[in-house]
Amino acid sequence: MMLIIALACALAAAVSYLSARFAVIPILQRRGVLDHPTARSSHDEPVARGGGIAVFAGLVAGCATALVAQAVSAQGVEPGSEVIRSLLPLAAAALFGLVGLIDDLNSLSAASRLVTQLVLAGAFAVAVLMVTGVGVFATVAVVLSIIVVVNGTNFMDGLNTLVPAWGAGTGLWFGVLALGVGSELLAIATIALTAALAGFLPLNATPARSFLGDVGSYAIGGFLSVGAWVLWSDGAPATALFAPFVIPMFDVLYTLGRRIYRRENLFTAHRTHIYQKLQTAGLSHEQVSAVHLLATGVCVTAALPVLFAAPVYDPLIAVAVWSGLIIGYTAMPTIVSRRQSRKPA
């Protein structure tokens, strides 16, 4: 199994990087699919938007390689529920990514995007219900969580390397959880996502040659949100599954709440996310990404004892750690700004 995972990861990373550098980015540049800098942008030059196409290509290549390798090995692949369950996150990445690609190319209206996302989320909620048996009353929760994670991932994709690094870390964690509950095919898919994002990272590092675009952020959000429900139905603890979403989803919901409170137009571009304030305060794109990755790592670490059913460990301890991190994260822009102001000119 480890050899198959290694093979899938190697191909996923190679396909992601090579297709992005030599095919996807040149095509996007020729077609003029570019993010042009504005007063609210974090970049100074036009950058190709839609590099997530290459990430998805790497993900598919990694998963296909693993399936073929298993089929020709002594293990084989038994068609049935496990295969379908494992392919659900991949299908979510494909369909939500398609919506994002259409938006990258033609700029859909906010209403069109939301309606399409609701339809897709409803379809995947039914699919999750059918193949996992999570219960009919979970349908609304599945729909809401998919919508929040898909759009939240898109909102967080405003700095170089931030979402690719977070998505890679979350995919790796989900792979560990999948192996822990015996979902080997799903483990391959989630770790292949990590490899595909790792392959794209060098092209997204400052100065970025490409952004994920809506196609990439929607695909990542769809994959991880549906994958979390499949893992939960397989027996992975909810605390462990929720851990990597704590910081980014707090940033999104906190910022949204502040904007609603201030009666701002929610459909206008802005730079009021906490991660954006960190960059404005003086941190580089990669430094903000490192802060997020470290905070996510602490959130995951706080949830680790849940996996081992530690007799003296209560999940509320993880919640307490997360709360402390959230407070510190919210205060970080002010702290960084003050430290920067004290530096000699």
Known binding-site residue numbers for Mg(2+):
154, 214
Residues 6+ apart with CB under 8 A from 285: 42, 159, 160, 161, 162, 206, 279
Report angle CA 77, 193, 126 to the nearest 5 degrees: 70
**What is the radius of gyration, based on Cα positions, of the chain?**
20
Summarize the annotated binding site as residue ranges.
154, 214
For residue 310, give the DSSP letter: -
Q: What are the residues whose beta carbons fall under 8 Å from the beta carbon of 23, sequence distance 6 or more? A: 54
76 by Cβ neighbours in 10 Å (0-12 / 13-18 / 19+) ranks as: exposed
> Could you tell me the sign of the dihedral formed by the alpha carbons of 258, 261, 262, 268, in that order?
positive
252 contacts: CB under 8 Å, gap ≥ 6? 148, 151, 152, 155, 156, 273
CA dist 316 and 305 (Å) reads: 12
Place of tokens 């990373």: 13
**What is the 8-class DSSP label of residue 161?**
T
Question: Before 207, cis peptide (omega within 30)?
Answer: yes
Nearest to 168 by CA among 62, 49, 70: 62
